[in-house]
Amino acid sequence: MKVTININGKDYSADVEPRMTLVDFIRDVAGLKGTHVGCETGHCGACSVLIDGRPVKSCLMLAVQANGKRITTIEGIGKDGGPNEVQMALSSSKALQCAFCSTGFVVVGTWALEENGELTEDVIKESFIGNVCRCTGYEPIIKALRGVRKND
Amino acid sequence: MLIPVGFEYLKPKNLAELDEAVRDGAFLISGGTVGVRLLKERIVRPKLVVDISEVEEAQGAKQGEGIVDLGAALKIYQLQRLSVNGPVSDMIRFVSSGIADPAIRTMGSLGGNIALADPSNELPVPLMLADASLLIYGQHRFHEEKIRGFIHGPHRTGLKPGEVIVRVRYKELDGYRWSYKKHFIRNLDHYVGISGAMAKVDSGKIIDLRLVVAGEAIMGFKYLAPERAIGARPSEAIIKEVAEEAVSGISPKSDRQGPSEYKVAVLKKLVELSVKEALGA
Ligand SMILES: Cc1cc2nc3c(=O)[nH]c(=O)nc-3n(C[C@H](O)[C@H](O)[C@H](O)COP(=O)(O)OP(=O)(O)OC[C@H]3O[C@@H](n4cnc5c(N)ncnc54)[C@H](O)[C@@H]3O)c2cc1C
Ligand code: FES
Ligand code: FES
């Protein structure tokens, strides 16, 4: 089935089988490997991307469901050609070790910052309920992101 | 990884197109948060997947003459922002805000939450309290069914193959107070217990009290309207009696979420807290 998905401002068209998930389209058709695959059940958040500005778990969506939609992956996140506030906060506080989970945290964190203007502890805890980190641990991530504000 | 078994995919734009699309053995999805996993795990192996998320008759929300009318395709995050008024609608907004995580709320739909009838699905709780009706379409005709009779048990409903929930309707319960409590062990896991209560108290006396319990402790949904509370004054004794009635006869299995007695104790406590809050006691 022919699908066209706009990823980070660029249209990717391909003839795909309906049984292909969105995360596979992103990684294998568009060749964007920053979106990771962890649990495949919707629990870990490694595969998080934005659709029309809101987070989704791309392992639980078929590529055909996303036909015609506008998607932002980790490769499309940043500011003025550099890291955005969330990326800056995580990297400067070294709140990442293996970084397998980090692209998901950055995608969801970027949405949460856009939505709330500031990452308070409550906003962080509520926004990242569906993101799992198995090595850095949550305290360093919360500490790094607490108080981050949107600078326009 | 491709989903192991291949299928065709159709996305009807309205019920007329749905009629043409649906055929024997078709599997419906809306958000796909559970449906896609069922496909991946080969729990369902359809030849055809019909995506009903854009069926126009199942979109939008409206309120008129005391009746709230919600499209079954509404996403959970849209329910968080419903612009309809009244205690039931307030409760739906609150419940929606606590479902899963922001990503699942972007994807998951109202219809999917009802049709699954998983004991950890939360939207049936306020809808059963409100005695909501479901407008169901299938085989070229509509019919209405009360949600209280529609859910037969865990993962069992009155839906026939190819039927879809198009709209969900309820009457607002003006003058009622509500409370909603749930307990889980791990984020995004099934709930040990859920308790929702709605009550009307006038001149210090209970006019109406409704309760719905759900979750692993009960492995289903149970609606109660404790008659002995009606006309009584809200008190600790009434609250304890209702909690006893809610857990009577249940014997959940012991598993990784805890022993059976623990689950019963959790549910009982949730009922006490929610009934107390709904009664304003
Ligand atoms: C990680 C995770 C966490 C979750 N946490 C929660 C939670 O905290 N609380 C909660 O309530 N739920 C939770 N869920 C369950 C689920 O996401 C929701 O129930 C959601 O609302 C399902 O909607 P959907 O549109 O994604 O359903 P789908 O996956 O598209 O469909 C599920 C089933 O419902 C049927 N269906 C869908 N729409 C209709 C319709 N309109 N008419 C008839 N049949 C229909 C489909 O045929 C399918 O059998 C969770 C799920 C996951 C994966
Ligand atoms: S890989 Fe999608 S949530 Fe884990
Ligand atoms: S940094 Fe390794 S899983 Fe989070």
The ranges assigned to domains in chain A are 2-76, 85-145
pLDDT digits (tens, 9 = 90+) for B152-172: 999 999 999 989 999 999 999
Q: What is the pLDDT of residue B139?
A: 86
**Residue closest to B92 by CA, chosen among B165, B173, B186, B158:** B173
Residue of chain B whose alpha carbon sits nearest to that of A55: B103
Do A85-145 and A2-76 have the same topology in CATH? no
Query: According to DSSP H, which parts of A55-101 are helical?
Result: 85-92
How many residue pairs bridge chain A and chain B with CB atoms within 8 Å of each other? 92
User: Do B204 and B222 form a contact (C-beta atoms < 8 A)?
Assistant: no
Asked: is B56-171 a CATH 3.30.465.10 domain? The reply is: yes
User: CB A111 to CB B187 under 8 A?
Assistant: no
Q: How far is the CA of B223 from the centre of ligand 2 (A)?
A: 35
In chain B, where the domains are located? 8-51, 56-171, 178-279
pLDDT(B79) > 90: yes
pLDDT(B281) > 90: no
CA–CA separation, A6 and B108 (whole Å)? 22
Mutate to test the interface with B, among A3, A37, A57, A58 (most CBs of B within 10 A): A57
Q: How far apart are the first and last CA of chain B?
A: 54
Work out which ligand 1 atom sits closest to the CA atom of B58. 41
User: CB B103 to CB A57 under 8 A?
Assistant: yes
Strand A2-7 relative to strand A70-72, pairing: parallel
Residues of chain B with pLDDT > 70, as a percent, come to 100
Residues of chain A with pLDDT > 70, as a percent, come to 99
| Cα distances (angstroms) measured from residue A58 to each of A29, A124, B33, B172 | 14, 21, 10, 37
Q: What is the pLDDT of residue B23?
A: 85
- Residue B42: which pLDDT band, with cuts at 50, 70 and 90? very high
Q: What is the pLDDT of residue A94?
A: 87
Q: How many H-runs (helices) and E-runs (strands) does chain A carry?
A: 5, 7
Mutate to test the interface with B, among A62, A71, A105, A119 (most CBs of B within 10 A): A62
Q: Which two tokens stand for residue B57?
A: 């008759």
- Which CATH architecture is the domain A2-76 placed in? Roll (3.10)
Residue nearest to atom 36 of ligand 1 (CA): B112
Q: Which CATH class is domain B178-279?
A: alpha beta
Q: How far is the CA of B65 from the centre of ligand 1 (A)?
A: 30
Collect all residues of chain A within an 8 Å Cβ-Cβ radius of residue B53: 65
**Residue closest to B48 by CA, chosen among B74, B18, B14, B13:** B18
Closest ligand, as measured to the CA of A96: 3
- Classify residue B144 as exposed, middle or buried by CB count within 10 Å of its CB (0-12, 13-18, 19+): exposed
CA–CA separation, A11 and A17 (whole Å)? 18
Output the 3-class SS for A22-74: HHHHHHHHCCCCCCCCCCCCCCCCCCEEEECCEEEEHHHCEHHHHCCCEEECH
User: Do A74 and A106 form a contact (C-beta atoms < 8 A)?
Assistant: yes
**Mean pLDDT computed over A5-14:** 98
| Cα distances (angstroms) measured from residue B252 to each of A22, A43, B261 | 38, 25, 8
pLDDT(B105) > 80: yes
pLDDT(B48) > 80: yes
Q: How far is the CA of B1 from the centre of ligand 3 (A)?
A: 22
- Residue B24: which pLDDT band, with cuts at 50, 70 and 90? confident
CA–CA separation, A146 and A141 (whole Å)? 8
Q: Is A57 in the pocket of ligand 2 (CB under 6 A)?
A: yes
Classify A52 as helix, strand or coil: coil
Collect all residues of chain B within an 8 Å Cβ-Cβ radius of residue A57: 33, 103-104, 107
**Mean pLDDT computed over A6-32:** 98
**pLDDT averaged over every residue in chain B:** 96
Collect all residues of chain B within an 8 Å Cβ-Cβ radius of residue A71: none
CA–CA separation, B101 and B243 (whole Å)? 30
What is the pTM for the complete model shown? 0.97
Q: How far apart are the first and last CA of chain A?
A: 41
Ligand 3 site residues, Cβ closer than 6 angstroms: A 96-102, 133-136
CA–CA separation, B123 and B92 (whole Å)? 7
Collect all residues of chain B within an 8 Å Cβ-Cβ radius of residue A65: 11, 29, 32, 51, 53
pLDDT(A103) > 80: yes
**Mean pLDDT computed over A122-136:** 96
CATH fold of A85-145: DNA polymerase; domain 1 (1.10.150)
CA–CA separation, A33 and B119 (whole Å)? 37
